Amino acid sequence: MGELIIEPWIVDETTHDFFVPEYIENLAHQVLKHYDLSVRNMQIITTKPDKGGAIWKLDTKSGPKSLKLLHRRPTRSLFSLGAQEYLVKVQAARVPPIIKTKDGKNFVEAGGKLWFVAEWIEPLTPVSKDLEGAKQLCYALGEFHRLSKGYVPPQNAEIASRLYKWPKTYEKVLKKMDWLRNIAKAYSDMPASSHLLNGVEKFEQQAIQSINSLNQSSYYDLVQQGNAYWGLVHQDYGWSNGQMGKNGMWIIDLDGVAYDLPIRDLRKLISGTMADLMKWDTTWVREMIAAYHEANPISPQLYEILMIDLSLPNEFYKNLKEAVYEPEVFLNEQTAQLIQTIIETDQSKWPVLNEIKDDWKGVKTK
């Protein structure tokens, strides 16, 4: 469709929330012409201006739909769209069905990106922000992982897989620790720098430990099973992308799915939730894992990997890796406080991991 190439756009004081450049709005209308929908109204719901993505809610004769402009490379988006279709059509999973174009396709290519329309699931309500809610999320996640097994992407899609990349990812965490140390030293006059150094001293050792554990684990054997065996991770799962619908939990926003060991999603959900609690809690962690296990059984080997992934200084890394960008802004009082909180929260992590590490000993999976 023409020569236009969609690029990220600038938002500032002069633009309203969810501003989308006019040429993209126009493209959206062009895209809709490929669908057999009578759209009464369309409303922008969210944007990713820095990446060039957007979502609209469509009010149509046949009910509410979503129109998405996917910011990723088209071949990458093909992988995710294929997954969404597989989950709905083959596995009857509770993820939004894709609406076909007039000529029977899953998407429209415009402005160098892929666009697609899917059902807008209503009503959806977030589960409660307590242990019960967390367990519901975990169960739904397990279900999602189980159903995603066996997915084979379409021919022309690129293979999005993180399955073999764990060692590299772990090494990167360790490498960044050194970067952060050097940044803290170069910016020693900033309020957060001494805290950052403290954090690095502590968490660098943890990262080394995690790498050693991973190298000695069954990781290398497990990944031999291959991508399709393990299925997909969502990569952005939590209280907003897993919500309760009429007939159970729905999982939305599948654009970032990739092959991986499934427990990485679970690990993220657990460590993120503990960060929100500002304290690690054995009961929460145990019950979250148990809820997941019920829907997608975790083998003792996989449990071991989960423990190792939990041992990585995930929260420190996630929050501090940005320090290499503009340290003269980032390393302020608030970041100092943030590091303190992370260090304090980490204190309670180790007794919990220690307590649950043998939970799977002797457990047999079906």
CB of 339 to other proteins, least distance (A): 11
According to the binding rule CB under 8 A, does residue 212 interact with other proteins? no
- Cβ proximity to other proteins: between 203 and 330 the closer is 330
CA distance 157 to 29: 26
What are the C-alpha distances in Å from 331 to residues 173, 197, 198?
Answer: 19, 11, 13
Determine, following the binding rule CB under 8 A, whether residue 181 of this chain makes contact with other proteins.
no
Under the binding rule (CB under 8 A), the answer on residue 365 touching other proteins is: no
- Which range of residues in 104-112, 171-179, 199-207, 287-295 is near other proteins by CB under 8 A? 171-179
Q: Which is nearer to other proteins, 290 or 336 (CB)?
A: 336
Taking CB under 8 A as the rule, which mask of x and - marks residues 114-153 in contact with other proteins?
Answer: ----------------------------------------
Examine residue 225 and tell whether it contacts other proteins (CB under 8 A): no
DSSP string, 146-160: HHHTT----TTS---
- Gap between the Cα atoms of 99 and 185, Å rounded: 54
Q: Is 347 a binder of other proteins (CB under 8 A)? A: no
The residue within the footprint of other proteins, chosen from 223, 261, 288, 352 (CB under 8 A), is: 223
**Beta carbons of 41 and 67 less than 8 angstroms apart:** no
Coil, strand or helix at 213: helix
Site for other proteins in 250-279 (CB under 8 A): 278
Among 220, 246, 347, 358, binds other proteins (CB under 8 A): 220
What are the phi and psi torsion angles at 9 (to 5°)?
Answer: -125, 165
For the bound state, the minimum distance from the C-beta of residue 326 to other proteins, rounded and expressed in Å, comes to 6
Report whether 185 contacts 200 (CB < 8 A).
Answer: no
Tokens of 113: 């990106």
The number of residues that bind other proteins (CB under 8 A) is 33
Q: According to CB under 8 A, which one of 329, 351, 358, 365 is a site residue for other proteins?
A: 329
For the window 6-25, what string marks contact with other proteins as x by the rule CB under 8 A? Answer: --x-x-x-------------
- How far is 19 from 13, CA to CA, in rounded Å? 11
Residue 325, class by beta-carbon neighbours within 10 Å (0-12 exposed, 13-18 middle, 19+ buried)? exposed
Does 280 engage in binding with other proteins (CB under 8 A)? no
Beta bridge partners of 11: none
Nearest to 181 by CA among 206, 210, 160, 202: 202
The two three-digit tokens of residue 256, written as one number: 């970032």
| 123 prior amide bond cis, ω within 30 | yes
Pick 38 or 337: Cβ nearer other proteins: 337
Position among 183, 200, 307, 308 found at the interface with other proteins (CB under 8 A):
183
CA 221-225-231 angle, to 5 degrees, is 125
Residue 338 interacts with other proteins (CB under 8 A)?
Answer: yes
**164 part of the interface to other proteins, by CB under 8 A:** yes
CA separation for the pair 282, 25 (Å, rounded): 49
Binding track, positions 48-67, relative to other proteins; x by CB under 8 A: --x-----------------
Q: What is the rounded CA–CA span in Å between residue 269 and residue 236?
A: 9
Residues binding other proteins (CB under 8 A) = 8, 10, 12, 50, 164, 167, 175-176, 179, 182-183, 186-187, 215, 220, 223-224, 278, 319, 321-322, 324-330, 334-335, 337-338, 341
